[in-house]
Amino acid sequence: MNAKATPPPEAPEAQESYIVSEGKKRGSTRDVRPEAAFDRYYTVLRVHAGDAILTDNWHTNEVLDHTRSNFEGYTFVMRTLEAWGVMIENDHRGYYTAGGRVWAMDLEPCEGKKARLPGTGAGKK
């Protein structure tokens, strides 16, 4: 055996992951940024196409209705939004990919969990 053998390289620092227990890709592991805090809450005010022009067809309408009914008006912890695939750009905008399209989310930071906003989602009244 060679006495001057080089030591093995150090293992890379473990990246923090989050196990998705509900929602998109249930049971999968998603990497979540360290800045995605447990104590930062966002209410999704509106889900829309952003600057994109929507094609008025069954698929687009179904995906938009589904995304709205599952996000609009609800308050989420930042980590949960990111684990479900939302890319948070800043405190007022996030992006979510569903149905092959990127949907914009208007966000509002809030102090903690709160009830769903009235008049939001697919079943608006």
Instruction: Spell out a b/e string for 106-121, using b for 16 or more CB atoms within 10 Å of the CB, else e.
Output: ebeeeeeeeeeeeebb
User: Per residue in 55-88, pLDDT tens?
Assistant: 889 999 999 999 999 999 999 988 888 888 898 8
d(CA 118, CA 125): 8
Q: Which residues contact 2 (CB under 8 A, 6 or more apart)?
A: none
With a threshold of 0.85, does the pTM exceed it?
no
Query: Are the CB atoms for 35 and 50 separated by under 8 Å?
Result: no
Q: What per-residue confidence (pLDDT) applies to 48? A: 94
Top-confidence range, 2-16, 28-42, 66-80: 66-80
**Size of the chain, expressed as the number of residues it contains:** 125
d(CA 13, CA 84): 24
Q: Is the pLDDT of residue 10 over 70?
A: no
